[in-house]
Each structure stands twice: as C-alpha cells, then as structure tokens.
A and B are shown apart, each in its own frame.
Chain A
Amino acid sequence: MWGFVDCTRYHHAGGRPQVVLFNASLVVETSERVALLIRPGQGKSTIMRLLSGIDLPDSGTVLRDEGGWPLGYAGGFHAGMSGEANIHSLALLADVDPIELSAFCFEFSELEEFYHQPLSRYSSTMKARLALSASLGLPARTYLADDKLAAGDEHFRRKCLSALTEKLTNCGLIFIASNPRAAKDVCDRFYVVSGGEFLPCDDYDHAATLLAASVEEDSADADVDIPTFDLA
C-alpha cells in the first residue's frame, strides 16, 4: 500500500517556502495505476522523494510498500562506469541475476557497442534508454514514475510503452506528471495535486480539465503577493 496520511510538506522555490502538501491524504494499492497530475514547479519531485523514502514530510505519514522502483531513473548511474557495469551493480542492489538483467538491457536498450562504454560518452537519450531498460527488466511491484514513461525516438517510445503495458498487468504504477496526456492510456485513477491536496477526478477528461484550470489559476495568481509560511 502506498500513500499519504495527513501529510504536510513544504519545499523551497525561488528562495521562498511553498506548500506542496497540506494535511493531504491518499491511499493507493500496490497494483493500482494512479496518476498524480501537478503543475510544473509545484513539487513533483518532492512528492517522488517522499514516496521513495529519501525525504520525510514536515508532518503526517508516508505509506510505502516494498518493491517500488523508480521508472526510467538514470540518477543512480555513475558516469565513469560503463553501461554494463552500471547494470551489473544495479542487479546486485536489486538482488536479481546480473547476467540476466544485463542481457535484457543490452537487447532492449539497443545501445549496441555503447553499452560497454562509460556513460560519460552517452547522450541524455542514451542514458534514458538504459535507465528505462533497467527499470523494465527489474521485478518491480509498483513503478514510481516522475513525468516520464518513455524516451527516445518514436520506435523506442512505442517499445517502452508496450513493455510497460505488459508489466502493468501484474504490477502498479504511481505516475506523477505535469503532462496529463502521457497518463491517459496507462492509468485508471487520476488525481490533481492543487492547493496542497489530492483532488480526486472522475476520469482522464475531468483530470485534464481540472489541471488546466489550476494552471490558469496559477497564472492569475502570479501578480498577487506569494504567501509565505512561518516554518519556525
């Protein structure tokens, strides 16, 4: 089970504290496919960090399940190591067979000879391809995705989405996104994060409309004084 119980979290943006969550609650079952739609710059990564357990809320509780792997996350790779060495290291951390995962990643990523070269020689797209291959090769129970379900050219994006759809038949997804369209085909439940709350939506169209409205509201508020909070 994943979620938040009466969670409050501030983050600093532009030198000012900003509310990401305020007494917010949400429960997501391990195998559910849920989209959390949020305006850019409103704390997408903060919510991801809370769900990953590397950040704690200012108050409240974050519910975390085991087996939640970040989808397409390249931040754990080391630039000085080859793609193969990075995958080998990741396999040991995930307790899966390194040779098996490496073979899968080599084939899926289509990086060819670059797979054996240091990541410092990779383009950002190549890194994303390797990261997505690694995620899709791992036995996740729930994927945590930060604004990205696929990367690369049209062929590779389709390949990723197809593999992800197949994986999602027996695992869950929490997709934190600022672009609602990406969530349309893969998620069953939609929430818009606005005003520090998770606003439940009836369906995709409702979520897209609500997110668009909150973006407009945000633009209208731009001229108004930004509220500050006493964190003492």
Chain B
Amino acid sequence: MMIGNGTTIGPARSASPGEWLRLQLQIVAALARRDVQSRFGETWLAYAGSFLAPVAWIAATWLAFYLLGRTPPVYTDMVSFIISGLIPYALFRYVVTAIGRTKTAARGLMLFPTVAEEQNLTAGALVELANGIILFLLVAGANLVIFGKGELADPLAFGWGMLLCWGLGGAYAYFLAMLSRFHGRAPNIGQLLLRPTFFLSAVFFTANELPEHILDWLSWNPLLHAVEVARDGMLFNYQSRVASGGYVLLWIAALATGGAILGLMRRN
C-alpha cells in the first residue's frame, strides 16, 4: 500500500487479469447501453431520430454545393463525395462532444465503487463509433436505393480512416477531460478550437486540389490526414497524395500519453 499526498488508495484487486478484463468490458457495455437509453430513449424510433441532425448536416452541404454550382472534384456522385469527407469528420466531432458530455451525464454514477471516469469515456466513445457506422450505412444505403449511386472502393481502408477519425477525437477529448481536472474551462476552449477544423480538414474539398503552399500548412492538421485516409478508401477514383495514417497515430499516441500524464499528476 502506498500512501501519497492526495492519493486515494485501496487494496490491490484480487481478481485474475482475465476476470478483471471481463468486468471492465461488462461495465463499459452497461454504461454504453445506459448512455443509449438515456440519450435516445428506450424505443428504436427515438434512437433513429438521433440521426436526423447529421443527415440534415449532409443535406445542407449538398444544398450549398448545388446553390454554389460546385461539382465533385473527383469522378463520383455528389452524395458519395460529400459523405466521404463529412461522415469521418462528423465521427470525430461527435466523439469529442460525447466524451465531453459524459463527465456531467455520468457524474451520479461515479459514487459507485466499480465505476471509473475512464470507463465512462470509453463507453461514450464506443456509442459514437457505432453511431458513425450506422450513419454511414443509412446515408450510403439511401444514396444507393434512391439515386442508384454509391461506392466503397476498399472497405478496410475506409474503415481504417473512420477508426483514425474516431481515435483522434477520442484521444483529443480524453486529453481535454484530464486537463479539465486542472482547469474547469478546458473542454469549452477545446471545443472552440475545433470550430475552424470544418474548413481546414478536407471535408468539402480534397487535399489533392489544394495549392502546394496551402497544403504545406494544412498537412500539419492530423484530422485532414484521417479524413483523406477514409476518402481514399471509399472513392474508386481518388488517391490522396498526403494521407498518412502513421501521422494520425502519432497524434493519437501523443494526446493519449499527455492525458494519462495529466491524470497521474492530478492523482498524485
């Protein structure tokens, strides 16, 4: 038993690693289910209603393209081009928002000895990953059924891009959550910093069409890389010249490590 300043301690868990892992998964699954039930209600209709906002976002982008007379810069249909950038981006934003919300939404549960903040964050992030996949299936499916158009060149590569967006959002939100233990307004500032990313992350344009001097600057943005990895995987006629999954992974590792260090600093 180690006693340190400000540390809360208890006896070491006697459960085996396998048993411990099973319990963690069970708790995360229970928290995720509770999150879905509390946010979307107990009916499937209420859950389906939660997709109206992102669908409206896609529709608004389509309308803006239509009104501005913009055509897809890649040989594909309009909806496929829009969702190739917008859905990975939405996944990133929604996971940041969801994790930011768990702190207040699950505050009441923190009094239970088995529930930890990290489990809440994981549950919130997993719910958003599922939502992102369902949203893609809904929109791409509707595009196929209604307009007879749609493409998914490399499902694995697209899935990898989606995972990178999700992981980047999760790591960023985790970092903010740990930072908020020192500065309560950190999540608000973190959300504000994300506002310009819609215009800087190749959501409604491609990195390939950017002038070199602008791309030099924007390619520092890890979200641009993650979105490009997903687009590269989705569209048959697009091959990104900058997409780097490794660069995004480095950012995820750095943010997660930074968050973990902040968490340990606060605990000690």
Contact status B5-A85, CB under 8 Å: no
Contact status B37-A92, CB under 8 Å: no
Q: Is A68 positioned at the interface, with any CB of B under 8 Å from its CB?
A: yes
Contact status A78-B38, CB under 8 Å: yes
Complex Cα distance, B33 from A90, in Å, reads 12
Q: Is B16 positioned at the interface, with any CB of A under 8 Å from its CB?
A: no
Q: Is A217 positioned at the interface, with any CB of B under 8 Å from its CB?
A: no
Q: Flag the segment in B85-93, B107-115, B161-169 that touches A.
A: B107-115
Question: Quick one: which of B3, B27, B33 contacts A5, CB cutoff 8 A?
Answer: B3
Contact status A92-B26, CB under 8 Å: yes
Interface residues of A in 45-61 (CB under 8 A from B): 49, 52-54, 56-61
Q: Flag the segment in A32-40, A69-77, A99-107, A165-173 that touches B.
A: A69-77
Q: Could you give, for residues 1-41 of chain B, a 1 whenever the CB lies within 8 Å of some chain A CB and a 0 otherwise? A: 00111111111010000000001001101110110011001
Q: Is B42 positioned at the interface, with any CB of A under 8 Å from its CB?
A: yes
Contact status A56-B3, CB under 8 Å: no
Q: Is A153 positioned at the interface, with any CB of B under 8 Å from its CB?
A: no
Contact status B41-A80, CB under 8 Å: yes
Question: Quick one: which of B8, B38, B113 contacts A67, CB cutoff 8 A?
Answer: B113
Q: Is A185 positioned at the interface, with any CB of B under 8 Å from its CB?
A: no
Contact status B6-A69, CB under 8 Å: no
Q: Is A82 positioned at the interface, with any CB of B under 8 Å from its CB?
A: yes
Question: Quick one: which of A58, A64, A80 contacts B9, CB cutoff 8 A?
Answer: A64
Contact status B11-A66, CB under 8 Å: yes
Contact status B8-A53, CB under 8 Å: yes
Complex Cα distance, B37 from A59, in Å, reads 39
Task: Please name all residues of chain B whose beta carbon is closer than 8 Å to the beta carbon of A62 when the two chains form the complex.
Answer: 7-9
Task: Please name all residues of chain A whose beta carbon is closer than 8 Å to the beta carbon of B108 when the two chains form the complex.
Answer: 75-77
Q: Is A93 positioned at the interface, with any CB of B under 8 Å from its CB?
A: yes
Task: Please name all residues of chain B whose beta carbon is closer than 8 Å to the beta carbon of A215 when the two chains form the complex.
Answer: none
Instruction: Tell me whether A92 and B111 are in contact in the complex, defined as CB-CB below 8 angstroms, given that A56-B8, A64-B8 are known contacts.
Output: no
Q: Is A230 positioned at the interface, with any CB of B under 8 Å from its CB?
A: no
Q: Could you give, for residues 257-268 of chain B, a 1 whenever the CB lies within 8 Å of some chain A CB and a 0 otherwise? A: 000000000110
Complex Cα distance, B110 from A70, in Å, reads 11
Q: Which of B4, B5, B13, B26 has the most CB of A within 10 A?
A: B5
Contact status B26-A76, CB under 8 Å: no
Complex Cα distance, B34 from A63, in Å, reads 30
Complex Cα distance, B107 from A49, in Å, reads 11
| 10 nearest A-B residue pairs (beta carbon) | A92-B30, A75-B108, A54-B110, A78-B38, A76-B108, A52-B111, A89-B34, A62-B8, A53-B8, A76-B109
- Chain B interface residues toward A at CB < 8 A: 3-11, 13, 23, 26-27, 29-31, 33-34, 37-38, 41-42, 107-115, 266-267
**Given A78-B38, A81-B42, A92-B30, 16 extra CB contacts under 8 A:** A54-B107, A54-B110, A56-B8, A61-B5, A62-B7, A62-B8, A64-B9, A64-B10, A67-B113, A75-B108, A80-B41, A85-B42, A89-B33, A93-B112, A93-B114, A94-B112
